[in-house]
Chain A
Amino acid sequence: MGLEQKLGNMGVVTTSLEKAIGWARANAIWPLLFGLACCAIEMMSAQASRYDLSRFGMELMRASPRQSDLMIVAGRVSRKMAPVLRNLYDQMPDPKWVIAMGDCASCGGVFNNYAIVQGVDEIVPVDVYVAGCPPRPETLIDGILKLQAKIKQEPLTKWQ
């Protein structure tokens, strides 16, 4: 393999358990297959041909919350949808993370009215906010890379 040729014989690698687990968690995230509105279409674009999210180990969308560890809230969350969304979040096993994709999920966006929850952080804890209406696939990928960097630094004690 390429790594041995560069570094010589790598028989033993020493690292802390925390770093090893963080590295493993960050590179095998299974997002929940869960689209709400316009942003879900850009999320689909991010997974499809041109942007190919699988380059970052993020393409395996799971339709069941019990098999996934990342929730990408892609779109506006209405007051009727909010309890369902919270229910889905509660069904996800630890460790779990949330990306608020788009302005509506982050802060309500252009819809400052009776129907829309003004930011999904009112009902679930959000790790990364991705701005845009809707964000370009590159922006979403950037948000996911930011999340990966965050996961790598998380202390092991966080998910006890």
Chain B
Amino acid sequence: MEQTLIQVEDAPSNQVRLEDVQLDITFEQLKRLVSPRALTGETMLLNMGPQHPSTHGVLRLLLELDGETIVNCIPDIGYLHTGIEKTAESKTYLKAIPLTDRTDYLAPMSNNLAFCGAVEKLVGIEVPLRAQYLRVILMELTRMNSHLVWLGTHALDIGAMSVFLYCMREREMILDIYEAVSGARMMSSYIRPGGLWRDVPAHFPQLVQRVLDVFPARLLEYEKLLKENPMWKERTVGVGKISAEDAIAWGMTGPCLRGSGVNYDVRKAQPYSSYDHFEFSVPVGSAGDVYDRYLCRMEEFHQSLKIIRQAMAKLPPGPVMTDDRKVAPPPKHEIAYSMESLIHHFKLWTEGFKAPEGEVYFAVESGKGEYGVLLSGDGSSKPRRVHFRAPSFHNLQPISQISKGALLADIVAIIGSIDIVLGDVDR
């Protein structure tokens, strides 16, 4: 039977001419970014994103292709620029916490802790031990939460659908814990300067125990699906290599840096929230390719479980909020009969507490790398300047270098392996 092709006049095409490229730079600047062959039309320009299923959000890449080989890769970010840093400067320290949830929305608790840690450092507040241990437990759960979405979407991009469904199933268990402690599934805002918003509910240990019981078997399941899978290895081993020197030079942190063989982890290098009370090891790769980054993150699951187990066993009783009334709200029962407490509560929520003049930097190891907050106080209840050192942004930087010479299909594996969240990149 004869087949007739339907001709569509404005058939969708992703190929763009150099003159038609829409970027926020001049044509002369663009010409310096691509090879001379792009001017003659010898190489092909391909627009990938900002709406593309495997760019993990709204990343846009302008690719220059020679056949299927990538000659140049020009990332264009800013499609999710939210002005979070600037908005945080117009809010009191307490009211800025919900904004931090929305930078790296896969690890809200890490962002909360980084910001609250910076405020605590600036104001000089001691956090009770119980709150510190609970923070550690929640931080490790957050790391697992972040890694589960990474594993699911990374595998989905490369073509393994079922891993995604398994990962999202396990993620719901962690979100249940989020919901039990903070009332929200994702945007928790649970960690506050001086401790935690409230103590964990009575069934918190059971919920965590369920994660500890279920996860080891499930991790084995994921590893069975991928670790020795020849198709998975074909797509990941030797792809997207970056050397240790380059990774450091580009400012990469987290599993991306450790996959290249650099043993750097903020939890070990500058312990915060009594991470030095727990025994755990930091997995380090050697090859610096997509597969080694995968192995590092998979081992981090096991280490997170190990930390949670220790912290749950050692969890001390006591308050979860500092007794420094400068930042901590008065207890609810006191507000009921004490006029001073009522006024104090009102003042704390409307005006906020004042932080001294000064500049501090506080970093935590989030699932993606070093998440740091630079906070500059000016003596009032609002910060003069807030800056988030977002790990996704620094991990994304070397993508032009990593993807040079790779195949078009490999760029999908590379984006997945550096685990970016565009809310974190653009802020």
Interface residues of A (CB under 8 A from B): 33-38, 40-42, 44-45, 48-50, 63-66, 75-76, 78, 80-81, 84, 88, 91, 110-111, 113-116, 133-134, 136
The residue that B51 contacts in the complex, of A41, A49, A80, A88, with Cβ under 8 A, is A88
Contact A49 B165 (CB under 8 A): yes
- Please give the distance in Å from A68's CB to the nearest CB on chain B: 11
Known contacts A33-B53, A64-B12; A38/B172 CB under 8 A: no
> B82: which of A45, A64, A76 is its contact (CB, 8 Å)?
A76
Q: Are the C-beta atoms of B185 and A114 separated by less than 8 Å?
A: no
Chain B residue nearest in CB terms to A45: B168
Given A41-B149, A41-B186, A81-B58: A111 and B82 interface contact (C-beta under 8 Å): yes
Does any Cβ of A come within 8 Å of B280's Cβ? no
Among B164, B166, B185, B426: residue with most chain A CB under 10 A:
B185
Shortest 7 CB-CB distances between A and B: which pairs? A48-B168, A115-B83, A38-B105, A49-B169, A113-B83, A81-B79, A63-B53
One of A40, A65, A115, A134 near B57 (C-beta < 8 A): A40
Give the nearest-CB partner of B50 in chain A. Answer: A84
| B102: A residues at CB distance < 8 A | 37-38, 110
Q: What would 16 more interface pairs be, CB under 8 Å, given A49-B169, A80-B81, A81-B50?
A: A34-B51, A35-B57, A37-B82, A37-B105, A40-B57, A45-B175, A48-B165, A49-B172, A50-B169, A75-B80, A78-B81, A84-B51, A91-B12, A114-B83, A115-B82, A134-B187
Q: Indicate if the CB atoms of B172 and A45 lie closer than 8 Å.
A: yes
Known contacts A45-B168, A48-B164; decide if A116 and B82 are in contact (CB<8 Å). Answer: yes
On chain B, the residues within 8 Å of A66 by CB distance are 12
B50 smallest CB distance to A (angstroms): 6
Query: Interface majority SS on A: helix, strand, loop or mixed?
Result: loop
Alpha-carbon distance A80/B255, docked complex (angstroms): 31
Count of residues in B whose CB is under 8 Å from the partner chain: 36
Q: How far is the CA of A89 from the CA of B58 in the complex (A)?
A: 16
Q: Chain A's nearest CB lies how many Å from the CB of B6?
A: 13
Query: Which of B's residues lie within 8 Å of A, judged by CB?
Result: 12, 50-53, 57-58, 78-84, 86-87, 98-99, 102, 105-106, 149, 164-166, 168-169, 171-172, 175, 185-187, 422-423, 426
Nearest chain B CB to A76's CB is how many angstroms away?
A: 6
Q: Measured between C-beta atoms, what is the minimum distance from B76 to chain A in Å?
A: 9
A116-B83 in contact (CB<8A): yes
Knowing A37-B423, A63-B53, say if A81 contacts B80 (CB, 8 Å): yes
With A33-B53, A115-B82 already in contact, the answer to whether A38 and B187 are too (CB < 8 A) is yes
* Distance of A115 from chain B, by nearest CB (Å): 4
Closest chain A residue to B179, Cβ basis: A136
Find the A residue at minimum CB distance from B10. Answer: A91
Q: B52 to A63, Cβ gap below 8 A?
A: yes
On whether A80 and B87 interact (CB within 8 A), knowing A36-B57, A37-B423, the answer reads no
Q: How far does the Cβ of A96 sit from chain B's closest Cβ, in whole Å?
A: 15
Task: Kindly state the separation between the CA atoms of A76 and B105 in the bound complex, as whole angstroms.
Answer: 12
Please, which residue of chain A has its CB at the minimum distance from the CB of B423? A37
Residues of A contacting B149 in the complex (Cβ-Cβ under 8 angstroms): 41, 44
Q: How distant is B25 from chain A, measured CB to nearest CB, in Å?
A: 14
A97 CB → nearest B CB, Å: 18
The CA-CA distance from A33 to B53 in the complex, in Å, is: 7
> Which residue of A is nearest B24, CB measured?
A80
Residues of A within 8 A of B169 (CB): 48-50
